[in-house]
Chains A and B, each alone.
Chain A
Amino acid sequence: MNYIFYFLIVISIIFGAINGKLSDVVNSILTGAELSVKVAFSLIGIMAFWLGMMKIAEESGLIKIIAKIIKPVTKRLFKEIPQDSPAIGDIAMSFTANAFGLANAATPIGIKAMEELQKHNIDKTSASNAMCMLLAMSTAGFQLIPATVIAVLISVGYKNPTIIIAPTLLVTTITFVSAIVLAKIFEHFWKPQCKTHGGEE
């Protein structure tokens, strides 16, 4: 990440200078920083709501029930996590919310799942295999109906906007499966985590 962060910024400045857009680049620092805080603060309310709901679901045993149902799948994907951990139920809930396009619920529940995975993490500053797997599943963006895209298509008078559903579902499934397979492959070849925290890389 250190290098990515460095290159993103250095390339922006160099290209901004070449394209004569250096002042735009400088201005974007301010707008980007403002946007970050806006995004974070817009999450507070909905995050509180779903974390509250998830607390009830956890205490009533619902999360455990869900975890039991999906155990056959998750025990292969999340080997290091004890299968009775609430993390498993949270992961299932977050996947379901994502699949139905409920982004407002998916993000807080996904974060809740990450927090549960962090409890089993041996190095709290680096991502465990299970965390990388959950991230791969979430960034692949598996979704049954691309509602926003369909709304745009309808607004420009697309004749039959629902014809994009099948191809989109096919593409998103391919991406989702590849992300999981890739995460499994990388898990084998990547250097395992160390127990010690260590300093910066």
Chain B
Amino acid sequence: MFQTIMNIISLWALPSIILIILTLGLFKKVPLYESFTLGAKEGFSVAVNIIPYLVAIIVSISMLRASGIIGSLSQVLHPLLAHFNVPADTIPIMLVRSLSGSAALGVFSDIAHTLGPENYATTLAAVMVGSSETTFYVLAVYFGAVGISKLRYALIVGLIADLIGIIAAVSVCNIFF
């Protein structure tokens, strides 16, 4: 029931937002086409502006992943995390999910395909991936677009929240499943 309602909302969210924006604009006599193109003009410059920030962050994270450190750290952490009923296969997701969304999703698909649907690791991985956002990517894009290079406490807050999210995912899955 909840799922069907959510599916309908997800399907209709975008079309409704667009319809509301356009209809209200027409009523308020906004020159729709002119305003749209005026706003859209900025799209290119914003995308180009974030390139330096994206290169800095994506390149350093690609290098980190290529170095094999994620695998080494997973092995180091495994004995410790085994106490909390954390399967070894899910540890790379914890390490990678703040850094790269596609990598986290890749590891998760891998777990789901190799260990199968009945495995606890698949469920835990699903919850961990489903409840996270790629902190470094969002930071690069959002701050890059407005030229912010001094982050102050933004990254620290994001990373602590990610850590809390991991702890929450492990605890919640231990209780639910």
Contacts and interface: CB of A to CB of B under 8 A. Distances in A.
Interface of A: 1, 4-5, 8-9, 11-16, 19, 21, 24-25, 27-29, 31-33, 35-37, 39-41, 43-45, 47-49, 51-57, 59-62, 93, 96-97, 100-102, 105, 107-108, 110-111, 114-115, 117-118, 123-127, 131-132, 134-136, 138-141, 143-150, 152-153, 155-159, 162, 164-168, 170-172, 174-175, 178-179, 182-183, 186-187, 190, 193, 201
Nearest to B71: A19
A4 B47 CA distance: 24
A146 B6 CA distance: 11
Contact of B2 (A5, A14, A35, A165): A165
A-B pairs, top 4 by smallest CB distance, nearest first, are A141-B133, A55-B39, A48-B43, A146-B130
Contacts of B173: 167
A60 B148 contact: no
B6 A36 contact: no
A3 B70 CA distance: 20
B94 to A, nearest CB: 13
B107 to A, nearest CB: 11
A138 B164 CA distance: 15
A96 B20 CA distance: 14
A97 B142 CA distance: 15
Given A39-B58, A56-B36, A157 B117 contact: yes
A168 B25 contact: no
A181 B49 CA distance: 31
Contacts of A135: 138-139, 142-143, 154, 157-158
A175 B162 contact: yes
Contacts of B25: 56-57, 59-60, 62
| Interface bin, chain B | 35 or more
A179 B161 contact: yes
B66 A16 contact: yes
Contacts of A111: 46, 141-142, 145-146
B72 A141 contact: no
A182 B20 contact: no
Given A48-B44, A52-B40, A141-B133, 19 more contacts: A16-B67, A19-B69, A36-B54, A36-B58, A40-B50, A43-B50, A57-B21, A100-B13, A115-B145, A118-B147, A127-B152, A131-B148, A134-B142, A135-B158, A146-B131, A166-B176, A171-B127, A171-B168, A175-B168
Contacts of A44: 43-44, 47
Given A40-B48, A100-B10, A140-B165, A60 B149 contact: no
B98 to A, nearest CB: 8
Contacts of B50: 40, 43
A171 B131 CA distance: 6
Contacts of B43: 43-45, 47-49, 51-52, 108
